Amino acid sequence: MPLIQGFSIDTIVNLAKATVLNPLALIVFLGYKAREADGWPERTGLVTTAYAFLSIYATTWLSNRWRNGLIPQRRLNSKTWPNEIVLVTGGAQGIAKSLSEKLAAKGANVAALDIVDFKSSHPNIKAYKCDISNYDDLKRIRSQIEKDFGGHVTMVANVAGLNNKSLILDLTPERVSRMIDVNLKSHFWTAMLFLPAMVKAKRGHFMSVASTMGFVGICHQSDYVATKHALVGMHESLHYEMQKMYKTPKVRMSTAIIGHTKTGLFEDFDVGPLGRFLGPKLEPSDVADQMLDAFESQDGKMILTPFMNNLTPSIKAHPWFTRDLIQAAAGGDGSYPSRPSASQLASSA
């Protein structure tokens, strides 16, 4: 069991970033060493480490600015948020519900969609029953949103998703089709229906929630992994289409690459003590905060949480024996209780 409940690698990283690895602390340290040496500080291990982390911070900043333009846009505020009409899918619960409420609290106009009937007490949120996997139903809702809010959707948060949690031989054609319809096709439908107005306005924000499994595959998740890999690739293409084809770089593309979260999709997902240390289960509200910050900053981003998602893409560059050790430590394989049936394992001889 964990040493401390909730203690994880993210606890260590966040503490370090707030103290000894804080950029200001590193600059003060290097300044002190320079004064002590009356010139450039001697290259000790600590000095080299300080230079290395400052380089990482600088590279990350420059990368974000290069992607979004060297001159940042002004953050949205209490005067500008009311001009935004934000579409949020899956708005009845979980991350989407939390995000809708946070957006509304900022003053945004929120159109929250879900396949079930639901209501919101916040006056800035209008709830719509909609099957987002159905293009015609979503098109009908678009017309209703424009009528209700008096304008076009300026931001989209594709949050809704399914998780079958099944080994491939336990899946049915109907379940696979439904997974692809909700977890992938719906993102194409929202792009095709809501991006045209953003392109004409030359600004907007289109965001989708992907997953750690957009980078790696694990047992019980072949259909889920396939849709999340596809989403990561889709957003890479859309970013370049906005930049180079439509000439609308201020139509931002963001992808939230998140680990397992405290929602119904992962309620019985158990990776074990080491897996929980490396990849702690996320609070929906914390994920919503990071998505809100991307919208508010008006920067396209790849949100990577928990911390290990910053390292996950590199796993494909490892030799298989190293990758298998990492994957075993993470605990994803076998994290769901189902196992192959006796009939599936029976010899045909």
Domains of the chain: 9-67 (no CATH), 81-330 (3.40.50.720)
What pLDDT sits at residue 5? 47
What pLDDT sits at residue 348? 57
What pLDDT sits at residue 1? 34
CA 297 to chain centre: 16
Q: What is the mean pLDDT of the chain?
A: 94
CB of 236 within 8 A of CB of 67? no
With a cut of 80, say whether residue 347 has pLDDT above it: no
Written as one string, the DSSP assignment of 276-322 is: HHHSPPBPHHHHHHHHHHHHHHT---EEEESGGGGTGGGGGGS-HHH
Neighbours of 190 (CB within 10 A): 24
- Write out pLDDT tens, residues 68-106: 999 999 999 999 999 999 999 999 999 999 999 999 999
Both structure tokens of 100? 């809708």
What amino acid occupies position 34? A
| Among 100, 99, 94, 96, CA closest to 261 | 94
What pLDDT sits at residue 103? 98
What pLDDT sits at residue 329? 87
The fraction of the chain above a pLDDT of 70, given in percent, is 98
- Angstrom distance (rounded) from CA 1 to CA 332: 17
With a cut of 70, say whether residue 11 has pLDDT above it: yes
Backbone angles phi, psi at 271, to 5 degrees: -100, 0
The mean pLDDT value for 339-348 works out to 85
Region for 108 from its dihedrals, namely left if φ exceeds 0, alpha if ψ lies in -120 to 50, beta otherwise: beta
Neighbours of 305 (CB within 10 A): 21
With a cut of 50, say whether residue 3 has pLDDT above it: no
The mean pLDDT value for 56-66 works out to 96
- Write out pLDDT tens, residues 307-320: 999 999 898 899 99
The mean pLDDT value for 247-255 works out to 97
Quote the pTM value: 0.92
CB of 170 within 8 A of CB of 222? no
- Write out pLDDT tens, residues 143-177: 999 999 999 999 999 999 999 999 999 999 999 99
Report which DSSP code applies to 84.
-
With a cut of 50, say whether residue 111 has pLDDT above it: yes
> Cis peptide leading into 313, omega within 30 of 0?
no
Both structure tokens of 161? 């998703």
- Write out pLDDT tens, residues 257-274: 999 898 888 877 888 888
